[in-house]
Amino acid sequence: MTTANRQPEVTGVLSWFPLDLPLTQRVIALFVSKWIIGALRPLVQLKVPDLLSDGPRSAEEIAEATGTNADALFRVLRCTAAAGLLVEDSDGKFGLTPVAAGLGEGAPGGVRDMFLFASDPMMWRPYEDVLHTVRTGEPKFDQEFGMAFFDYLKQNPDSNTTFNRAMLQNRYPGSDRVLDSHDFSRYPRIADVGGGKGQFLAEVLKRHPGCTGVLCDQPQVVAEAAEVFEQAGVSDRVALAPTDFFESITPGCDAYLIKHTLHNWDDEKAAAILTRVREAIGDNPDARLFVIDMLLTEHGKWDIGKLVDVEMLIILGGRERDREEWNRIARAAGFEPSNDPAAGDLVLLEFRPV
C-alpha cells in the first residue's frame, strides 16, 4: 500500500510524492520540482542525454566532454538520478532512462525543445511575482518584459526559435487521439489558424491524401514552415498564409482548425479571432470550425487543464475553458456547438456557423 493510499485526504499532485511527511508539512514535497528542474536543465543544455546514448559514463568523463566542473556536475547528475530520471550504477556511472533518452536531440517522440522552452528564463521570471497577477488580473509576463508574450517573441528571434521549436513537439497523446479519431476527409480545403510551423496540419494532410491545407500564422512563423511540410511529404498540397489573425483569415476553406491557440487569449480576443474565422466562412453552411484545446471539468475534479490555466494566466493573460465558456465565445462569434466530447483532456470541439 502506498503512502498516498494510507492518507486518502491527500489528492492531486501531492499524492504523487512518496515522501512520508505529515500532512501539515506535505507541501514541502512540492519544492523538489524546482530542484529537479534546476538540475536537469543544464544537463539538457549540455546534451548529456546524447552523450549517454552509447552507454553509461562517469561524472568525470561527462565533465571532460562538456568542459564543466566535475564536482558540480556529479551533484546535479546524482540529484537527477535520485529523482529517477537517470540511472546511477554501483560503479558511479550514469546511464539513460527512457525519460532521459526523450530529452536527447532529435529523440523520436522526444520533448527536448519543449523542456528547454518550459524551463527558459522567459517562462520562469514571471513566476517570481505571481501576486502581481493575482492583484491585477494582468499577466506578470507583460510587466516583467514590458510587452506581451507574442510581441516579445517577435522582438527576440532566439526566443521565437525556442518557442516554435517547442511547438513542433506539442504532441500530447491527446493530439494523436484527436488525429486518429476524426475523419477530416469530407473537408477538401482545411485551414489551420495559428498553426505554428504546420506541425498539426501536416499530420492531418498525411492522414487525408484527398485534402489540401492552408497554414495561417504570423509571417515570421509561417516563413519557417516549409521544412515541416516537406518532411511530411505534403508540400504540394499546402498554401502558406502569413497573417495577423486579428485582422483577417483566408476565406473559402471547408474546415478551420484552431489548436492550442485560443487558450492563449482572454475571452474578448478569443472571440475576435473566431469572428475572423466566421467572416472567412461567409455563407457556407457546411463549413465547420474545429477548436482543439482543453475542456475543463466541473468543480472539484482533478484536471491537468486547471494547472495549465495558471500558466496561461501568468504568461499570456489567456485561459482554459469549460463547456459553457467555450460556447459563450463561439456564440459571440456566430457559431453553434455541434458535438459534445467528454471533459478533462484535450478535445476537438466542433461548431457550425449560424
Ligand X SMILES: C[S@@+](CC[C@H](N)C(=O)[O-])C[C@H]1O[C@@H](n2cnc3c(N)ncnc32)[C@H](O)[C@@H]1O
Tell me which residues are annotated as active site.
263
Check if the beta carbon of residue 291 is closer than 8 Å to that of residue 321.
no
Task: State the Cα–Cα distance between residues 270 and 167, nearest whole angstrom.
Answer: 20
Residue 80 found at the interface with ligand X (CB under 6 A): no
Residue 200 found at the interface with ligand X (CB under 6 A): yes
In terms of CB distance, is 74 or 245 closer to ligand X? 245
CB of 47 to ligand X, least distance (A): 24
Check if the beta carbon of residue 162 is closer than 8 Å to that of residue 132.
no
Q: Which stretch binds ligand X (CB under 6 A): 43-51, 74-82, 194-202, 336-344?
A: 194-202
From the list 17, 127, 150, 172, which residue makes contact with ligand X (rule: CB under 6 A)?
A: 150
Beta-sheet pairing, 189-193 with 212-217 = parallel
Residue 196 found at the interface with ligand X (CB under 6 A): yes
Q: Which amino acid is at 234?
A: V
In the DSSP assignment, the letter for residue 146 is S
Per-residue contact track with ligand X, 239 to 258, x per CB under 6 A?
----xxxx------------
In terms of CB distance, is 69 or 231 closer to ligand X? 231
CB of 167 to ligand X, least distance (A): 4
Q: Which stretch binds ligand X (CB under 6 A): 67-75, 176-184, 226-234, 259-267?
A: 259-267
From the list 49, 126, 139, 194, which residue makes contact with ligand X (rule: CB under 6 A)?
A: 194
Residue carrying C-alpha cell 505529515: 22
Closest listed residue to residue 241, CA positions, set 205, 214, 279: 214
Number of residues that bind ligand X (CB under 6 A): 19
In terms of CB distance, is 52 or 330 closer to ligand X? 330
Residue 260 found at the interface with ligand X (CB under 6 A): yes
Closest listed residue to residue 200, CA positions, set 67, 346, 51: 346
From the list 221, 255, 333, 347, which residue makes contact with ligand X (rule: CB under 6 A)?
A: 221
Footprint (CB under 6 A) of ligand X, residues 167-186? 167, 170
In terms of CB distance, is 260 or 319 closer to ligand X? 260
**Count of residues in the chain:** 354
CB of 281 to ligand X, least distance (A): 17
In terms of CB distance, is 143 or 220 closer to ligand X? 220
* H-helix segments, 119-198: 121-124, 130-136, 140-145, 149-155, 157-168, 173-181
CB of 149 to ligand X, least distance (A): 9
Check if the beta carbon of residue 192 is closer than 8 Å to that of residue 259.
yes
In terms of CB distance, is 63 or 316 closer to ligand X? 316
Closest listed residue to residue 191, CA positions, set 137, 246, 134, 259: 259
CB of 163 to ligand X, least distance (A): 8
Closest listed residue to residue 200, CA positions, set 219, 175, 181, 223: 175
- How far apart, in Å, do the first and last CA atoms of the chain sit? 55
Task: State the Cα–Cα distance between residues 346 and 294, nearest whole angstrom.
Answer: 4
Check if the beta carbon of residue 276 is closer than 8 Å to that of residue 246.
yes
Check if the beta carbon of residue 234 is closer than 8 Å to that of residue 202.
yes
Residue 199 found at the interface with ligand X (CB under 6 A): yes
CB of 222 to ligand X, least distance (A): 9
In terms of CB distance, is 83 or 310 closer to ligand X? 310
Check if the beta carbon of residue 251 is closer than 8 Å to that of residue 279.
yes
CB of 125 to ligand X, least distance (A): 19
The contact set with ligand X (CB under 6 A) reads 150, 167, 170, 194-196, 199-200, 217-218, 221, 243-246, 259-261, 264
